[in-house]
Amino acid sequence: MADQVALLHSLFASGELVHPYLRQEYFSKGKTDDDGDVASFVDLSAAIAMCCGASPPSLQYADENGPMSNESVQKRRMQLAVEIGGVPTKDDNGAEVYPRKHIVLILCDGMGNSCLEKAFAADEDVSFLMNNNQPTRMCAVFPSTTPAALTSLATASYPGSQHGMPGWNLRDKSGCDFPGADSDSAGPVVQLLVLSDHIRDARSGELASKHGFETWDSIFVEVPWSRSLLSQSNHSDDSDETEQYTNCTRKMLYINAYNGDDYQNWSQGATNDNDNDAQDTVGTDFSSWQMGIDNQDVKNISLFDTAKFEETAYDTLGVPRGSSDAIRFFRDGVNAALKKIAEAERRGESTFTYLYTAHPDKHMHALGVENEEVKKVIQGLDSEIRRFWRVLGNRDALLARTSFDDDTYNEDNAVYSVGIDATIVITADHGHITVEPEHMITLPHDILECCEYANIGVHGKGRHGYLHCRAGLQSLLLKRWQSHHQLSQCFLILTIEAAIENSLFGPRYMPQRVRPRLGDFVVIAKDRHTLVTPKELETYQSSCQRQGAHGSLLPEEMQIPFVLLSKRSVVSPI
């Protein structure tokens, strides 16, 4: 295992792989006083939490001999918070005062720096995002996947070392079995399927509550920072709207195509402590706002609000309709955000808006990064974000509008006035690479003999595969792995303990509740080769169909954009 760790460090030192938060110089020169650590996606979440008046998890990340100090982490996060919108303070009446009134986070799934560069390779000067990007500022978490990143965003904590969500599929078990006992405290081994309407066992389709995981918090280790905002609100059902927000933190608005699912509800501060079957949305009123249309029958008295827009159909990917639909639906999300910010501005409220789109990730998984339809999607997202910022730059025109669903208002011909007091942050959860059929590898039979579960797959899991060994066969698996030239050349294989010690999952030791989900080994792709299931290999090799993938530590997967658009007093057309 020492040789694998040494190889990992050499790949970090050469820049062939990217550590989630330590700079390349840390591995090439050894730590010096001038070698800081990289701002990570977790730091961004913590900074936003502070801007919203919430407290991220306590900073007890590093031991005395660790690669970074708690002080440096806190300093970096505070700097980010100040740049984004500042930490709220109290006025003489105890009300929250925000240096920046409106904060918007736009997350474009999978849109790493390399994807942006490819989309605008012909003329990068026309890209609004590239012209405003700080490409070396931010780094994705490991594994570089959506579930790991979005759970980090919700909790301001690291994937393996804190929040325990390394993927959408989690192998777990509740309780301990005894010979001959039929104990209610012990459940079977389940494959928790998180990306579903309700969290279920992937094999049986039954709710997780039927197998010992009775609440969302029994599945997710950390609590979302948004939930802490609820205790700070002092509204009551019989108070009027003005009084409801007098001493509260920012109004929170979540806009995506997936609102209403268990995972989205949990990440936005809701709980289901009493009934896993129920939509118990303590934090969010999910019925009051959908598709940009207010429901007049529901009076929203919470700090939270949601909007939901349509999602692109899978059968349109690869054809012009798919890219045009993706852009059109994202435009609906932008319009929903503009409408809600305008409403809040009229009421004098401060807001945090989170706008998430599953693109370009959804297109890239089906088509690869270089496809022309992918470029159209990215260019369309770029154009819509430019429009979003320009509209916010004209407060008078924004407040004069009642609808943003038509093109009757032409921003190009508008007389620009003082802009909205706002910051927009645009980033991604990870980047992407293209995997050709010849890059797809299945596990050999003698390796499968040693495994009871292999969490692999072409779209992400196979680039950081988790292997659960049969009892007592760990050493045999390692020996057999090294005997396969392609496996040993294309992948690093580390024990989970070695990965933890090298801070891949984050700079804290792993909680007991998280550890069983990762198995015995993590297999990390060193290049484009990806571990796939036999069914996937047959499907994609027979059709000669390339796929997009992510999840490992390649620069294309780890380096994500950081675009920070700050307050402007007077805006002229761009």
Cα separation of the two ends of the chain: 55
Choose among 443, 503, 501, 440: nearest CA to 467.
443
pLDDT attached to residue 290: 31
pLDDT attached to residue 59: 57
pLDDT attached to residue 28: 84
Q: Average pLDDT, whole number, for the chain?
A: 82
- The yes-or-no verdict on residue 193 having pLDDT over 90 is no
Q: What 3-state DSSP class applies to 452?
A: strand
Domains and CATH numbers, the chain: 435-549 (3.30.1360)
Helix, strand, coil abundance in the chain, percent, nearest 5: 40, 15, 45
More confident residue, 411 or 347: 347
At 36, the pLDDT band (50, 70, 90 cuts) reads low
What type of residue is 29? K
More confident residue, 128 or 189: 128
Q: CA–CA separation, 267 vs 254, rounded Å?
A: 10
More confident residue, 326 or 296: 326
Choose among 115, 113, 88, 90: nearest CA to 99.
88
Q: CA–CA separation, 199 vs 231, rounded Å?
A: 26
- The yes-or-no verdict on residue 299 having pLDDT over 70 is no
- The yes-or-no verdict on residue 562 having pLDDT over 90 is yes
Lowest mean pLDDT among 22-31, 259-268, 284-293, 527-536: 284-293
Q: What are the strands of the beta sheet with 521-525, ordered from one edge? A: 451-455, 464-469, 521-525, 491-495
pLDDT attached to residue 240: 41
**DSSP letters for 311-353:** ---GGGTTSHHHHHHHHHHHHHHHHHHHHHHHHHHHHT--EEE
Please name the residues in contact with 206: beta carbons below 8 A apart, sequence gap of 6 or more.
Answer: 200
For residues 488-505, average pLDDT: 93
**CA angle centred on 355, ends 419 and 234, rounded to 5°:** 80
pLDDT attached to residue 182: 64
**DSSP letters for 154-194:** HHSS-IIIII--SSSEEEE--S---TT---TT----EEEE-
Residue 403 burial (CB count, 10 A):
11
pLDDT attached to residue 249: 64
**DSSP letters for 394-427:** -HHHHHH-S--SSS-S-GGG----BPPSEEEEEE
Most confident range (mean pLDDT) of 40-49, 181-190, 300-309, 501-510 is: 40-49
Q: What burial class does residue 411 get, using C-beta atoms within 10 Å of its C-beta: 0-12 exposed, 13-18 middle, 19+ buried? A: middle
At 177, the pLDDT band (50, 70, 90 cuts) reads confident
DSSP 491: E
- Tokens, residue 240: 């009027």
- The yes-or-no verdict on residue 521 having pLDDT over 60 is yes
Choose among 362, 391, 356, 385: nearest CA to 374.
362
Phi-psi label, residue 75: left if phi above 0, alpha if psi -120 to 50, beta otherwise: alpha
* Token pair 């980010």: residue: 80
For residues 335-356, average pLDDT: 93
pLDDT tens per residue across span 63-99: 445 566 777 788 888 889 989 987 777 777 776 666 8
% pLDDT > 90, the chain:
47
- The yes-or-no verdict on residue 34 having pLDDT over 60 is no
CB–CB of 39/5 below 8 Å?
no
At 171, the pLDDT band (50, 70, 90 cuts) reads confident
CB–CB of 398/377 below 8 Å?
no
Phi–psi pair at 80, nearest 5 degrees: -60, -45
On the question of a cis peptide bond just before residue 534, with omega within 30 degrees of 0, the verdict is no
Cα Dmax for the chain = 79
CB–CB of 107/429 below 8 Å?
yes
- The yes-or-no verdict on residue 245 having pLDDT over 50 is no
Residue 147 to residues 57, 141, 167, 205, 507: CA-CA distances in angstroms?
A: 19, 10, 5, 20, 19
Q: What 3-state DSSP class applies to 259?
A: coil
Q: What 3-state DSSP class applies to 573?
A: coil
pLDDT attached to residue 276: 41
Please name the residues in contact with 213: beta carbons below 8 A apart, sequence gap of 6 or more.
Answer: 172, 174, 187, 190, 192, 199, 219, 276
pLDDT attached to residue 196: 78
